[in-house]
Chain A
Amino acid sequence: MASIWRYANPRKFIETTDRVLPWVSTAALAALVAGLAWGFFFTPDDYRQGSTVKIIYLHVPAALMAINIWIMMLVASLVWIVRRHHVSALAARAAAPVGAVMTVIALVTGAIWGQPMWGTWWAWDPRLTSFLILFLFYLGYMALWAAIENDDTAADLTSVLCLVGSVFALLSRYAVNFWNQGLHQGASLSLDKEEHVADVFYYPLLLCIAGFVLLFIALVFLRTQTEIRARRMRALQARERLG
């Protein structure tokens, strides 16, 4: 277990992720192309939802990632708070824009899907509303990082914000169960075969989810490397200014 902390060394993190990044990126591209092509071209229409069921291959993975990226940011923030490893704070910072984009994809594809199925683009439904609040938390988190000059102070304050926002990340996941009302359906993915979507949609959906997860890993590796380099550059420039 102690060995995991070796990667808290920025140089070690960059060396390791440099080696892994091409493989993860290739696997992400392959899974995304295969999953989306399978879902779009080779699955039938749903008997009730028609061809709109094909939106599931974007909407569900994006929504899953929106929630789980915030949870990853929470774990990284807790590591920062407890152990003061800069790489973990920078990884949380690197993940936020990816999470924000995933939240936008989930909201937009949900609205486009909802219009023909529910007859409205938007409703103040528990899940939709908690997702909108989660998106606002992503924006606030990124704005807070950008607004504070001192990296350590920014990491401290954004970590606290991340803790608070976790309530909404969890609410987004369980809103349908907490309030048994609203338009949004229950879980599309479940270990209970009676509950989850039919197998013909389920397997390409799993492949798309794998693609989104791999894409997230690749982007976080790349973006964390960038944040590490940007932090070092700021430190060197500050040293230059001091003479």
Chain B
Amino acid sequence: MMMPELGKYAGAVLSSYAVAIGLIVALIVVSVLRARRVKRDLEEVENRGRGNGTH
């Protein structure tokens, strides 16, 4: 794919894409990392509970 000719508005267009895509990727990464951490922590708590008979 050839880079389109953006002319004098190149800065505005490219910065819009950079900010938006950056924010979306950050949101996805944060959501996935927290999902993994909470899942792992819950498994630990459940295993601990089974071990001492509280759950």
Least distance between B11 CB and chain A CB atoms (Å)? 9
Number of A-B contacts (CB under 8 A): 99
Tell me whether A229 and B42 are in contact (CB under 8 A): yes
Interface residues of A in 110-156 (CB under 8 A from B): 112-113, 115-116
* Residues in B whose Cβ lies below 8 Å from that of A68: none
- Contact: B55 with A236, CB < 8 Å? yes
Complex CA gap A62/B19 in Å reads 12
Number of interface residues of A (CB under 8 A): 39
Q: Inside 8 A of B15's CB, which chain A residues have their CB?
A: 112
Number of interface residues of B (CB under 8 A): 34
Is A186 part of the contact surface with B, judged by Cβ < 8 Å?
A: no
**B1 to chain A: which residues have CB within 8 Å?**
37, 41
A-B contact pairs, 28 of them (CB 8 A): A37-B1, A40-B17, A50-B9, A51-B4, A51-B6, A51-B13, A52-B9, A54-B4, A55-B13, A59-B16, A98-B27, A101-B23, A105-B20, A105-B23, A112-B15, A112-B16, A113-B16, A222-B31, A223-B34, A223-B35, A226-B31, A229-B39, A233-B38, A233-B41, A236-B45, A236-B54, A239-B54, A239-B55
Within 8 A of A (CB), among B22-44: 23-24, 27-28, 31-32, 34-35, 38-39, 41-42
**Additional A-B contacts beyond A50-B7, A230-B42, A236-B55 (7; CB < 8 A):** A41-B1, A50-B8, A51-B5, A55-B12, A58-B16, A112-B15, A222-B31
Q: Are A229 and B6 in contact (CB under 8 A)?
A: no
- Also in contact, A219 and B28, with CB within 8 A (given A40-B17, A51-B4, A115-B12): yes
Residues in A lying within 8 Å of B, measured CB to CB: 36-37, 40-41, 45, 50-52, 54-55, 58-59, 62, 97-98, 101, 104-105, 108-109, 112-113, 115-116, 215, 219, 222-223, 225-226, 229-230, 232-233, 236-237, 239-240, 243
B residues bordering A, Cβ < 8 Å? 1-2, 4-10, 12-13, 15-17, 19-20, 23-24, 27-28, 31-32, 34-35, 38-39, 41-42, 45-46, 48-49, 54-55
